[in-house]
C-alpha cells in the first residue's frame, strides 16, 4: 500500500493498481504504468524491481511493525491473543485507513495467479516474523509457530470477508474470525473415537 516515498512512488502505485483493475495484470506494461503516473519508465525501475513488486511495497515495514507490535503487547498476554492484539492495533488501522487502495489491491491479487503466489510468499514471511517475535516473548518454538500460522490464516480469512462485506469493518471481521476459531475447535475431541 502507498506509505512512504515521494509522490512519484505513490503515483506509480496508484497508476499500476488502476491499470491492473481496468485491464488485468497480464495486459499492462511498466511503460504504461509510468506513462499513467506521468514519469519515465526509468523512474519506475528506480522505485520497483518489476510490475509485481509495485503492489508489494509494504512488506518490510509491515514485517517490522508486526514484530514491534508483538513485543509491545500487554504483558502476560498468551500467544494467540498476542497475535490478535497485534493485528487489531497495528495492521487493521493501516488497512482500514487506506481502504480505497487496499480493497482493489486485494481484488487484483485474488484475480491474478502470479500475484497470488507473491502474496502467499509475503504471508509466509510475515508468519515467520510473527513466530520469531512470539518466541522472543517466551513462547515455545512449537506454540509460536502454530499461533503465528493459525493467526495469519484467520487474518487472511477476515481480509477476504472484508472484500465481500463493504459495510463491515475489518476490525469486526477479525474479532469474529478469531471467535469462530475458538468455536470451531471445541468439538475436535470427537475425532479420536472415529479414526
* Residues at the contact surface with a second copy, assessed by CB under 8 A: 74, 77-81, 84-85, 88-89, 113, 116-117, 120-121, 123-124, 142-143, 145-147, 149-150, 152-154, 156-157, 160-161, 175, 177-182, 184-188, 190-192, 194-195
Distance CA 56, CA 118 (A): 8
Q: Are 52 and 115 in contact (CB under 8 A)?
A: yes
Least CB distance to a second copy at residue 43 (A)? 29
Give the nearest distance from C-beta 36 to a second copy in angstroms: 29
Which is nearer to a second copy, 132 or 149 (by Cβ)?
149
In angstroms, rounded to a whole number, what is the distance separating the alpha carbons of residues 103 and 95? 9
CB nearer a second copy, residue 31 or residue 78: 78
Cell of 166: 463493504
When the beta carbons of 8 and 77 are compared against a second copy, the nearer one is 77
Nearer to a second copy, 102 or 145 (CB): 145
**Residue among 122, 125, 144 at smallest CA distance from 133:** 144
Grid coordinates representing 41 are 519508465
Q: For residues 60 and 66, what is the distance between their CA atoms, to the nearest angstrom?
A: 10
DSSP state of 88: I
**Smallest separation (angstroms) from a second copy to the CB of 169:** 13
Least Å distance between CB 158 and a second copy? 9
Select 5 or 113, whichever has its Cβ closest to a second copy: 113
Contact 14, 2 (CB under 8 A): yes
Closest approach, Cβ 193 to a second copy, in A, equals: 10
Alpha-carbon span 68 to 26, nearest angstrom:
36
Amino acid at each position: 500500500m502507498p506509505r512512504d516515498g515521494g509522490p512519484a512512488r505513490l503515483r506509480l502505485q496508484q497508476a499500476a493498481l488502476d491499470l491492473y483493475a481496468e485491464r488485468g495484470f497480464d495486459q499492462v506494461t511498466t511503460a504504461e504504468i509510468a506513462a499513467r503516473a506521468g514519469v519515465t519508465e526509468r523512474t519506475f525501475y528506480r522505485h520497483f524491481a518489476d510490475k509485481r513488486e509495485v503492489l508489494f511495497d509494504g512488506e518490510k515495514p509491515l514485517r517490522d511493525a508486526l514484530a514491534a507490535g508483538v513485543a509491545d503487547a500487554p504483558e502476560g498476554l498468551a500467544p494467540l491473543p498476542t497475535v490478535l492484539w497485534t493485528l487489531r492495533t497495528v495492521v487493521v488501522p493501516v488497512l482500514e485507513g487506506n481502504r480505497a487502495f487496499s480493497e482493489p489491491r486485494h481484488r487484483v491479487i485474488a484475480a491474478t495467479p502470479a500475484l497470488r503466489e507473491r502474496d502467499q510468499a509475503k504471508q509466509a514471511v510475515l508468519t515467520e516474523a510473527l513466530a520469531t517475535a512470539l518466541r522472543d516473548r517466551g513462547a515455545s518454538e512449537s506454540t509460536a509457530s502454530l499461533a503465528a500460522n493459525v493467526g495469519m490464516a484467520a487474518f487472511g480469512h477476515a481480509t477476504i470477508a472484508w472484500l465481500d462485506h463493504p459495510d463491515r469493518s475489518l476490525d469486526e471481521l477479525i474479532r469474529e474470525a478469531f471467535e469462530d476459531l475458538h468455536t470451531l475447535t471445541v468439538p475436535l475431541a470427537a475425532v479420536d473415537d472415529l479414526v
